[in-house]
């Protein structure tokens, strides 16, 4: 053994011994919720399994809907019922409004300078207000309606031109949602139409890689004394991915600054607004910096593209598996819209059955199956159990929406449950009914919920209205792969490859594309 290897081995052994002694000298506080017995040093990390939201749901059946785990040296509280979620998001919402330290925020999200991971306080409120006013308000969404319409037409054209060739719907959906956000945020498309576009494929892979890495339970986050070892290589991968995103965002920022004002052209997109706000007097949240702007763009691109496109993909997959439901939705669209034009956003409010399909998709396939972690700022009590200060909170959104005490036949895709007269007709997905909270709830509910809802509803309605959907030759609907690929977001394990068959009047598909 070389001297360097000897020093390294000594450091590793010393670190492990320190961690073990520290855990023995600092036993868990009394009165914690029940949970499985932790192992020395790593705690319950092995209990998480390959798909944590599944493993935690199974553990909740044994230990109850409020559960305690020790991941390394960190106390983790897991909520798995709507009643517990109600207490967290209503009674104790302020106490759980900050995020715990984590490697994703540190190494990818510009060291907590973004909206998603920023500590609850003045800076977070400033970033949230900027997004609420300039991007997600009802007026802003209406102002950008033409962009959504134009990019959905590009999608429809690409599907129409596909003919009988198998079509990677996931890729086209990602291009559509990314270009919508690109035009809203930057004033221009990020990609072409997605057909053979290497840049779009690379960006999709970057986003998926980010979501996968962010969903990993990194040992260094839970055993701080082992962080420097980067045992899983997660931190190293995050740093490399951050550099790729940073290069992408720096280029966008510089091009935007240079082009703004050229030939009398002034941008009216979000990035121009953000650049303008940099010159404003410093407010309670401090000055807006280039780093804040890049971090905000990173949030919006990653959270706004992958979540919307994957939810639409799940919806179409469920309808392919349930042809009677697809036919029923198409009949409703025929009655409300007809077959001589495409559905518009203004039609969506009249589509009762279709809206039930969207709710059921969000219930069965929430884009974020485990809510983004929160941290207890102070000790508190929930259901008579002690919740320690600085403990991490996870809400198993996926498990709550499949609770058999709330949902009849919870594993079945049954939109009828949300129709008038149905058992769950009164429930919505916007954070006030804690039985189904795909966007989270409370102060840190997803900032882009309103835009995400519009995109998912409009794109899905257009695909259902405009096409019949068939499996590639030789594949049976019954064998359609519905397995999940776990990351921070709920991806399909296998992208949805289908044959779209146009079902409307031919002239509908010949609309001019911008």
How far is residue 302's CA from residue 212's CA, in Å, rounded to a whole number? 12
State whether the Cα torsion 372-373-375-376 is positive or negative. positive
Q: How far is CA 19 from CA 6, 40, 41, 233, 389, in A?
A: 20, 9, 6, 20, 20
Q: Cβ atoms within 10 A of the Cβ of 432, count?
A: 12
H/E run at residue 381: strand 380-382
SS3 percent helix, strand, coil of the chain, rounded to 5, is 55, 10, 35
176 is in an annotated binding site: no
Question: Angle between the 449-466 and 290-321 helix axes, to the nearest 10 degrees?
Answer: 40
Name which of 368, 367, 417, 388 is nearest 100 in CA terms: 388
Q: What is residue 441's three-state secondary structure?
A: coil
- Give the bridge partners for 167, in sequence order: 498
Is the CB of residue 77 less than 8 Å from the CB of residue 197? Answer: no
Q: Angle at which helices 169-186 and 449-466 pack, to 10 degrees?
A: 140
Binding residues: 446
Binding site for heme, by residue number, is: 446
């Amino acid at each position: 053994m070389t001297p360097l290897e000897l020093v390294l081995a000594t450091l590793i052994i010393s670190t492990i011994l320190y961690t073990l002694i520290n855990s023995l000298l600092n036993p868990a506080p009394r009165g914690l919720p029940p949970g499985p017995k932790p192992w020395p040093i790593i705690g319950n990390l092995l209990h998480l399994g390959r798909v944590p939201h599944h493993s935690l749901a199974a553990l909740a059946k044994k230990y109850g809907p409020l559960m305690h785990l020790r991941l390394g040296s960190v106390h983790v509280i897991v909520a798995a019922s709507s009643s517990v979620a109600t207490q967290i998001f209503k009674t104790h919402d302020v106490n759980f409004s900050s995020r715990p330290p984590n490697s994703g925020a540190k190494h990818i999200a510009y060291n907590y300078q973004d909206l998603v991971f920023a500590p609850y306080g003045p800076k977070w409120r400033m970033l949230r207000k900027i997004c609420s006013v300039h991007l997600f308000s009802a007026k802003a969404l209406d102002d950008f309606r033409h962009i959504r319409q134009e990019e959905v037409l590009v999608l429809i054209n690409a599907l129409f031109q596909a003919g009988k060739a198998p079509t990677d719907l996931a890729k086209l959906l990602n291009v559509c949602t990314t270009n919508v956000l690109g035009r809203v945020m930057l004033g221009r498309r990020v990609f072409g139409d997605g057909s053979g576009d290497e840049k779009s494929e690379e960006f999709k892979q970057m986003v998926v890689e980010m979501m996968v890495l962010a969903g990993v339970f990194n040992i260094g986050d839970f055993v701080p004394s082992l962080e420097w070892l980067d045992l899983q290589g997660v931190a190293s991968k995050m740093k490399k991915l951050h550099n790729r995103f940073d290069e992408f965002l720096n280029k966008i920022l510089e091009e935007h600054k240079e082009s703004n004002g050229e030939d009398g052209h002034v941008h009216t997109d979000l990035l121009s607004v953000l650049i303008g706000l940099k010159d404003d007097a410093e407010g309670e949240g401090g000055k807006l910096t280039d780093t804040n702007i890049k971090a905000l763009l990173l949030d919006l691109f990653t959270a706004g593209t992958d979540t919307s496109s994957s939810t639409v993909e799940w919806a179409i997959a469920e309808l392919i598996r349930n042809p009677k439901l697809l036919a029923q939705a198409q009949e409703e669209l025929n009655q409300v819209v007809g077959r001589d034009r495409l559905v518009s956003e203004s039609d969506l409010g009249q589509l009762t059955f279709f809206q039930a399909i969207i709710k059921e998709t969000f219930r069965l396939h929430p884009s974020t199956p485990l809510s983004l972690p929160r941290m207890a700022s102070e000790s508190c009590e929930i259901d008579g159990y002690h919740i320690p200060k600085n403990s991490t909170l996870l809400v198993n959104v996926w498990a709550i929406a499949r609770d058999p005490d709330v949902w009849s036949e919870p594993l079945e895709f049954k939109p009828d449950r949300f129709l008038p007269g149905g058992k769950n007709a009164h429930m919505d997905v916007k954070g006030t009914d804690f039985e189904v909270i795909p966007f989270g709830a409370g102060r840190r509910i997803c900032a882009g919920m309103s835009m995400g809802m519009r995109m998912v509803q409009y794109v899905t309605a257009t695909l259902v209205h405009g096409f019949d959907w068939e499996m590639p030759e030789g594949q049976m609907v019954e064998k359609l792969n519905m397995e999940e690929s776990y990351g921070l977001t709920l991806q399909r394990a296998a992208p949805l490859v289908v044959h779209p068959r146009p079902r409307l009047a031919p002239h509908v598909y010949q609309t001019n594309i911008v």
